[in-house]
Amino acid sequence: MTSSDSTSALADIGVTGLAVMGANIARNLARHGHTVALHNRSASRVDELMTKHGSEGNFIPSASITEFVASLKRPRRALIMVQAGAATDAVIEQLADAMEPGDIIIDGGNALYTDTQRREKALRERGLHFVGAGISGGEEGALNGPSIMPGGSAESYEYVGPLLESVAAVVEGAPCCTYIGTDGSGHYVKMVHNGIEYADMQLIGEAYQLMTSAAGLSANEAAEVFAEWNSGVLESYLIEITSEVLGHTDAETGKPLVDVIVDAAGQKGTGRWTVKSALDLGVPVTGIAEAVFARAVSGSRELRAASQGLAGAELATSLTEIFPGTDVESFVADIHSALYASKVVAYAQGFDQLAAGSREYGWDLKLGDLARIWRGGCIIRAQFLGRISDAYAANPQLPSLLLDPYFRDAVESAAASWRRVVTVAAQLGVPAPGFSSALAYYDSVRAKRLPAALIQGLRDYFGAHTYERVDKPGHFHTQWSGDRSEISN
């Protein structure tokens, strides 16, 4: 459809913001038989989409927001796919001014959930629905089926749910899209998804570094190992593309591409937001936090340059010095176990945060459903998530995934290898913050006693903060600067 015959029909949905994600979602919607109105701040993106892909379905291009809104069926449904933050606020304002009560604005960007809560409230007061929909899958997912996490009123889901479900990825006949909960819940869930994505990628990165630095594999050999791992319990999109990236040769130098990429990881904010929320809620997401901080360390170029002369490993120089008889093959198998166990910990922590967020904001998140819609379409997609879904189906009140029988046995079986890998990393001086902090978390939660008792004693000493006793109820204070007798508070 061209602009000249656009008056004859109205669009089922409109997409504004036609960069990578928006353009591909718009094409996905059109390919599924929906008539899609198109808008972008710079008209060139609309023209480009129409020129390259206009024949893929029914599109109605528009040159202004007013024209865009006028081309939508009532109640109007407009999907925003622009940069999070001020850009999203600006577009919402323009849309809201042109819309009427009952119309629906969907934000598919990576918005901060508190922004979504604010926007939903403001638009509700103007009679408009606002759906904060986390969308994951990158360019390819947006086109062929992403995982979609829509949050908003249940009424708005009636209008947008079927449409979003029709373009989502499908696993075992079910769409990777479900109603998440009210206001900012969809963006909260997407935020934690990204936090888990950070942790997963950090662990994969550590596995790669240990393979090359400790076991002496080349990038191509590591690529083969990851390809092999992709058919076992670690099977996932991230493991699959790790093999692709490691196996790719730079055309200019003939070296593995990974060796010519600057080792400073970027971050756009969702990982950091996840950790900030976890800190506020008091949920120990150590895997995600280590991943965020590891990216920060990688990007601290001046600090890293100044630190090059610091002493390194003096305890050992090779694997066999640490564990005599260890060969490369068995150490690579150990890394596999360490990666798997650390991944279970990271996901357990991420799901703990989702449960805490749900309690805090009254969202009633269905953790099993979240795992189910992450099995396809999104960046962390994996069969592994089916196991998580099963765990919550068996016990919706599961206190931690580590306590699910399947995961408890899996981690127990991996534990000896995991400890060997952390030992090797420490002795050779290869940084493995994800593997080691996951192990520390595991050992902490299963410990009978923690040094927190001493910390409480110290807090009581310097600040009279009181402590509880193991043998009787109440709060107590030792009069440290007096006769050191104990008083009950």
Ligand X SMILES: O=C(CO)[C@H](O)[C@H](O)COP(=O)(O)O
Degrees (nearest 5) of the Cα angle 376, 377, 380?
A: 75
109 binds, among ligand NDP, ligand X, none (CB under 5 to 8 A by kind): ligand NDP
- Listed ranges 115-123, 148-156, 267-275, 464-472: which one lies at the site for ligand X (CB under 6 A): 267-275
- Cα 473 to Cα 4, 226, 295: the distances in Å are 79, 53, 44
Touching ligand X, residues 160-199 (CB under 6 A): 194, 197
Contacting positions for ligand NDP (CB under 6 A):
17-22, 40-42, 45, 81-84, 87, 90-91, 109-110, 135-136, 138
**Distance separating alpha carbons of residues 331 and 327, to the nearest angstrom:** 6
State the minimum distance, in angstroms, from the CB of residue 203 to ligand NDP: 21
Contact between 289 and ligand X per CB under 6 A: no
Nearest CB to ligand NDP, comparing residues 17 and 368: 17
**267 is in the binding site of which of ligand NDP, ligand X, none (Cβ under 5 to 8 A by kind)?**
ligand X
Structure letter (DSSP) for residue 295: H
Q: List beta partners, residue 456.
A: none
66's contact among ligand X, ligand NDP, none, with CB below 5 to 8 A by partner kind, is: none
Known binding residue 474? Answer is no
CA 386, chain centre distance (Å): 17
How many CB atoms sit inside 10 A of residue 160's CB?
23
Pairing type for strands 476-478 and 174-175 reads unpaired
Nearest distance from C-beta of residue 110 to ligand X, angstroms: 5
> CA-based angle 65:94:168, to the nearest 5?
70
190 tagged catalytic? yes
Asked if residue 42 belongs to a known ligand binding site, the reply is yes
Name beta bridge partners: 151.
132, 181
* Closest to 113 measured CA to CA, from 377, 422, 444, 354: 354
Give the whole-angstrom CA distance, residue 107 versus residue 188.
13
197 in catalytic set: yes
From the candidates 165, 197, 206, 290, which is the catalytic residue?
197
Residues in the chain: 489
Q: How far is the CB of 182 from ligand NDP (least distance, A)?
A: 21
Give the SS3 label for residue 219.
Answer: helix
Q: Which does 116 bind (CB under 5 to 8 A by kind): ligand X, ligand NDP, none?
A: none
109 is an annotated ligand-binding site residue: no
Residue 37 marked in a binding site:
no
Token readout for 281 is 């809620």
110, 274, 389, 436: which one contacts ligand X (CB under 6 A)?
A: 110
Q: Is 136 annotated as a binding residue?
A: yes
Binding region for ligand X (CB under 6 A): 110, 136, 138, 194, 197, 266-268, 270-271, 379
Task: Kindly list the catalytic residues.
Answer: 190, 197
Write out the binding residues for substrate: 110, 136-138, 193-194, 198, 268, 295, 459, 465
